[in-house]
Structure 1
Amino acid sequence: MKHVYSDILEFRGSHYDFGKRQGELLRKSFMLSNREREWRLRKPRFSIDVNETKQAFQRFSPQIWEELLGLRDGLDCSLERVLKNFSGYRLDYVRSGCSIVTGKDFFVRNYDYHPKTYDGRFVLYEPTDGGYATIAPSSRVTGRMDGMNEKGLVMGYNFMHRKKPGDGFVCTMIGRFILENCQTTKEAVQLLKEIPHRHSFSYTLFDQNGDSIIVETTPRQVIERRASVCTNHFELLTEENRYHLDDSKRRLSILQEAIERDLTAMEAFRLLNDSKRGIFSKDYRNWSGTIHTTIYFPKQLRMGFALGEVDKPFIFDFKKWLNGESLNLDRIDGYLETDIPFAQMEAH
């Protein structure tokens, strides 16, 4: 068992100042050196065009471009280096497996991936220069794995494939765009239809009205459907699916059978977080182990977070935080059945 943790970052202020603060913190961590080592081992199959990237951000979220400039200044490095590591534009994304289920007033998600790619950062951010406040685990610093905003909109994504990539944004940055710019699932669906997509993913959206929408996206097509469970294959864009879907369909079957029993929120959490129930995975070395489980309550503006398998999640009251209360908590601890550390914990 490996002891792991996510550092908690609370920030209220402009995107530039937020970026600069994150850069200053990153200079003291292992994350940047570990990311650079990844590039040495896995040469990027794309080039960074600063002007092209800037134009893409100016269209969808100019404030996050300011955050990238703040990161540059906080790290005291080149903008090209920041864009390669943290922009979420024209990057590649390795395969993973995730599971999502929504109910009448809750959204539960397993994030399954490889620990060494995991930021180990949990972020509460209230911008003062535009955009909604958010609570979420981060990915590649500027992106979000899943999360909720101050309007009660929740987002989580599921990997489908990397075939025939496009010149667009990856899932983590798209998730950030959704949370900072949309109030409802309807608005998020429209944004997903406008954003250029790098890879193929499904995005599950859930708002305070209980509206649960899954949007199937590829660089070629975007289509939505109403559903309350999602794993790692398309239901509509079936021609885009990978060939090996047995595990994805197995997990989907378990989730579909469970929701017919009208699960409570905590029953849904246990279904995803209990390794004996068939959804939680320990396959970390193959990029599909369950790292965290989140549960969101949009109407209450509360969320629960768990690293690894736990008895119960740690509950955050986002509404109180929005009213000015600090968490007075530095990090969240957990255990994974692996010896692989997170990106910010030690050199690898």
Structure 2
Amino acid sequence: MPIHQHFTALVEDAPGPLWQALFERCWPGYRDWYLRSGVFGRPSYLECRRALREHMPELVPTWTRLVELAGGGDVEARALSMWCPPAYIAGCAQAVWIDPAGAQGPALLRNYDYAPALLEGNWLATRWCGQRVLAMADCLWGVLDGMNEAGLAASLSFGGRTQAGEGFGIPLVMRYLLEVSSTVEEACAVLKRVPVHMSYSITLLDTDGHWATVFVGPDAATYVSRRRAITNFQHKVDWPEHARATSAVERLNTLEHLVDKTHSLPQVAAALLQPPLFQTSYRRGYGTLYSALYQPTERLVELFWQDQRWQQSLLAPQAGERHIVFPTGPS
């Protein structure tokens, strides 16, 4: 059977009724996920608030307002803090493309590979901390990939290790760096000081053409690399079964060749929609649900699929909806 996926773009500068409706729609599933180890299996409200105040103080007013909109409950507040959440694993591939002729600005491209039922599909345009952020949302206010009006783009992928520790869920750290940073250098500084609870790779690109891929995790020092392409392992393959199931090495080899040898941005983008980069293992949790193209110099973002393209400008984002049907059934 075909896979159906719905995407919604929401424009709301300050947290209000649109976010509240999003929360009410998504919360039951997140509540079950957050409490799967029991109500006492997660940090207390005071521990969560203390962690936010210590590591990401600029987000505290927004968190407080979101908790109010969510009803002010203890579990809601703890879950929204994203301090030491349950473990979660996704796929994904991402790369930075630089025009060798210098005629076009740089671009960040990514495929997001995950289970269809677990994707929110909410594309949020906000001004929570002053500057515009347009991002694909996760965990109700976190970020999978996005760009701010300063022209900083960021994208995350799973780092290939299952160890979990004390730290924040990476979607909230992604939210934070897009809210408070303007350059790759500033974003790297955030990633060096904010603890993350699992291993992820974050690719960054700014308007000056600076880029980095940053390896973060709970049991290793943050490492800033000059890798232009990444899939689902960092320095080496640590989880061979996952790497084989997701073709992580093959996808990386393909991506590296594309960004090194392809002089056409449309050709690189088109390759994201073809194997091995495009994945169809939806039932196993890592089918490609969307592809994204970020062009910081132009402040343009585009989501694209086999038969649809959806472009937005950071300068004037528009609300809207898209319904996507993947002709390839789950495998």
> Which TM class, normalised by the smaller chain length?
0.7 to 0.9
Q: Return the TM-score normalized by structure 1.
A: 0.84
Contact persistence 1:272–1:293 (CA under 8 A): yes
* RMSD of aligned residue pairs (Cα, Å): 2.3
CA change 1:183–1:298 in 2 (3 A) is same
Match of 2:267 in 1: 267
CA change 1:241–1:291 in 2 (3 A) is same
What secondary structure is seen at the aligned counterpart in 2 of 1:101?
strand
What secondary structure is seen at the aligned counterpart in 2 of 1:67?
helix
- Verify: 1:316 aligned to 2:312, yes or no: yes
Match of 1:123 in 2: 124
Of 47, 50, 58, 1:52 maps to 47
Higher mean C-alpha deviation, range 190-199 or range 131-140:
131-140
Structure 2 unaligned regions, length at least 5:
99-105
Of 286, 304, 327, 1:288 maps to 286
Contact persistence 1:106–1:297 (CA under 8 A): yes
CA distance in 1, matches of 2:161, 2:37: 16
**Displacement of 1:195 after TM fit?**
0.7
* 1:230-261 deviation digits (Å, cap 9, x = unpaired): 101112xx4x8223334211101111222232
CA distance in 1, matches of 2:183, 2:149: 11
**Displacement of 1:300 after TM fit?**
0.3
- Verify: 1:169 aligned to 2:164, yes or no: no
**Displacement of 1:217 after TM fit?**
1.2
- Verify: 1:132 aligned to 2:126, yes or no: no
Contact persistence 2:159–2:215 (CA under 8 A): no
Match of 2:110 in 1: 109
Q: Percent identity?
A: 21
Contact persistence 2:142–2:175 (CA under 8 A): yes
Q: Return the TM-score normalized by structure 2.
A: 0.88
Structure 1 residues 42-81: aligned runs within 5 Å: 46-81=41-76
CA distance in 1, matches of 2:179, 2:264: 29
Match of 1:279 in 2: 277
Match of 1:89 in 2: 83
* 1:4-57 deviation digits (Å, cap 9, x = unpaired): 2122211123xxxx1665224433x2x222333445666579423212211222
What secondary structure is seen at the aligned counterpart in 2 of 1:66?
helix
**Displacement of 1:225 after TM fit?**
1.0
Contact persistence 1:6–1:122 (CA under 8 A): yes
CA distance in 2, matches of 1:169, 1:183: 21
CA distance in 1, matches of 2:187, 2:238: 23
CA change 1:131–1:46 in 2 (3 A) is farther
- Give the AA of the match of 1:331: E
Of 27, 35, 38, 1:32 maps to 27
**Displacement of 1:214 after TM fit?**
0.8
Contact persistence 1:161–1:199 (CA under 8 A): no
CA distance in 1, matches of 2:248, 2:263: 21
Match of 2:93 in 1: 99
What secondary structure is seen at the aligned counterpart in 2 of 1:178?
helix
CA change 1:263–1:241 in 2 (3 A) is farther
CA change 1:337–1:312 in 2 (3 A) is closer
Structure 1 unaligned regions, length at least 5:
341-348
CA distance in 2, matches of 1:216, 1:44: 31
CA change 1:176–1:40 in 2 (3 A) is closer
CA change 1:77–1:289 in 2 (3 A) is same
